């Protein structure tokens, strides 16, 4: 009887220590990273963010663990990914894109959240900013960009503006640009894009409305399939402008907007401050002012766009 009791007791303590060792949190700090979709441009900010961590002494697999997740363009996946981070009690959550930021602000209460490649909470309509939210946002300066477009097309009268109204960033940026064009007496033709499958049809609809140019603002869906929209623009001989300069590599004629490398790096430094337990509460959320102008010379030629010399000389990069 004593032997049986002893065996049971040993088994109990063995199981206890096994469970304890499995549930005990690692000494490494854990970062949960979520990105809305695989995209080379978003990946630039991601790489710069991770580089800021590395430059500050935080190396994945050594003293930190990064749980790198991607929603693959499916908005319904974002809450599931965030919930898994909360369940695993990660130390910091990093979001890349406005939809990921919005979901995290709604769902995550007790873990610091740092966002990159997004608008500010106020820009997307949040009435109250969570105390655990940090990040770097795009001020979306529509005025200077529209100035550039008008210099390229002096007689500009009508713009085509496709956007996905299910993305808060896309709706917000389309409104900002629409208001800026309307203020200058330029007519705006909008069309909805619900998925990348709608892009060609949307582009064809706009080109049939006698537009002078197409503009894509901050829209993950359209940027994901921008090559298709660029093909429509090439065929119709209508210039395509983008508010994300890196999208010119996918066939837009000209792009003006935030520098993604600096954006990601600045966001990474926010993560570092949190990991070192020194966040500046007065500077939770800051804007980025580093802008880039990129011209795709070949795309401009295909789309019938003549770019003035003053715009060429102001460009940060010219793709030939």
Per mean pLDDT, which range of 26-35, 75-84, 98-107, 254-263 is the poorest?
A: 26-35
- 50 SS3 class: helix
Contacts 24+ apart (CB under 8 A), 19-25: 25/89
Is the predicted pLDDT of residue 36 greater than 60, yes or no?
yes
Question: Tell me, what's the pLDDT at 275?
Answer: 93
Question: Tell me, what's the pLDDT at 6?
Answer: 39
| Block residue for tokens 């990474």 | 268
Token readout for 148 is 């550039």
In a domain, 197, yes or no: yes
Do residues 36 and 115 both lie within one domain?
yes
In a domain, 2, yes or no: no
In a domain, 228, yes or no: yes
The predicted-structure confidence for 113-160, as pLDDT tens digits, reads as follows 999 999 999 998 888 899 999 999 999 989 999 999 999 999 999 999
Burial 163-188 (b: 16+ CB within 10 A, else e): bbeebbbbbbbbebbbebbeeeebeb
Shortest CA distance to 39 belongs to which of 171, 198, 227? 227
Do residues 54 and 188 both lie within one domain?
no
Report the pLDDT averaged over residues 60-73: 96
In a domain, 22, yes or no: no
Question: Tell me, what's the pLDDT at 131?
Answer: 92
Do residues 86 and 162 both lie within one domain?
no
Question: Tell me, what's the pLDDT at 279?
Answer: 63
Is the predicted pLDDT of residue 58 greater than 80, yes or no?
yes
Do residues 89 and 166 both lie within one domain?
no
Average pLDDT of every residue of the chain: 90
The predicted-structure confidence for 272-302, as pLDDT tens digits, reads as follows 999 998 766 558 899 999 999 999 999 999 9
H helical segments located in 36-167: 40-55, 77-87, 98-107, 142-152
CATH number (domain holding residue 224): 3.40.50.2300
Question: Tell me, what's the pLDDT at 168?
Answer: 87
The predicted-structure confidence for 229-246, as pLDDT tens digits, reads as follows 999 999 999 999 999 999
Higher-scoring residue by pLDDT: 230, 38: 230
Q: What is the pairing mode between strands 158-163 and 187-192?
A: parallel
In a domain, 301, yes or no: yes
Per mean pLDDT, which range of 208-217, 278-287, 304-313 is the poorest?
A: 278-287
Beta-ladder partners of 96: 35, 116
In a domain, 299, yes or no: yes
| Block residue for tokens 């000494």 | 27
Q: Which domain holds residue 35?
A: 29-138+259-290
């Amino acid at each position: 009887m004593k032997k049986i009791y002893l065996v049971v007791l040993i088994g109990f303590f063995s199981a206890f220590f096994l469970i304890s060792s499995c549930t005990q949190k690692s000494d490494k700090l854990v970062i949960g990273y979520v990105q809305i979709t695989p995209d080379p441009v978003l990946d630039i900010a991601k790489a710069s963010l991770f580089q800021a961590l590395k430059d500050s002494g935080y190396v994945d697999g050594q003293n930190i663990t990064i749980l790198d997740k991607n929603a693959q363009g499916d908005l319904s996946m974002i809450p599931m990914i965030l919930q898994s981070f909360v369940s695993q009690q990660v130390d910091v959550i990093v979001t890349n894109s406005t939809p990921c930021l919005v979901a995290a602000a709604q769902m995550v209460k007790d873990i610091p959240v740092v966002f990159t490649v997004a608008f500010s909470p106020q820009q997307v309509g949040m009435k109250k900013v969570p105390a655990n939210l940090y990040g770097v946002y795009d001020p979306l300066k529509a005025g200077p960009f529209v100035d550039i477009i008008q210099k390229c097309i002096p007689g500009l009268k009508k713009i085509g503006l496709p956007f996905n109204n299910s993305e808060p960033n896309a709706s917000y940026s389309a409104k900002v640009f629409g208001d800026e064009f309307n203020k200058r007496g330029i007519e705006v033709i909008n069309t909805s894009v619900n998925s990348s499958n709608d892009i060609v049809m949307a582009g064809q609809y706009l080109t049939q409305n006698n537009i002078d140019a197409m503009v894509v603002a901050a829209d993950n869906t359209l940027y994901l399939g921008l090559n298709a929209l660029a093909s429509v623009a090439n065929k119709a001989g209508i210039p395509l402008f983008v508010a994300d300069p890196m999208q010119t590599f996918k066939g837009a004629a000209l792009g003006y907007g935030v520098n993604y490398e600096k954006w990601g790096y600045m966001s990474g430094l926010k993560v570092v401050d949190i990991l070192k337990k020194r966040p500046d509460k007065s500077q939770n959320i800051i804007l980025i002012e580093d802008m880039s102008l990129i011209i795709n010379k070949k795309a401009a030629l295909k789309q019938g766009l003549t770019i003035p010399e003053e715009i060429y000389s102001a460009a940060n990069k010219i793709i030939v």
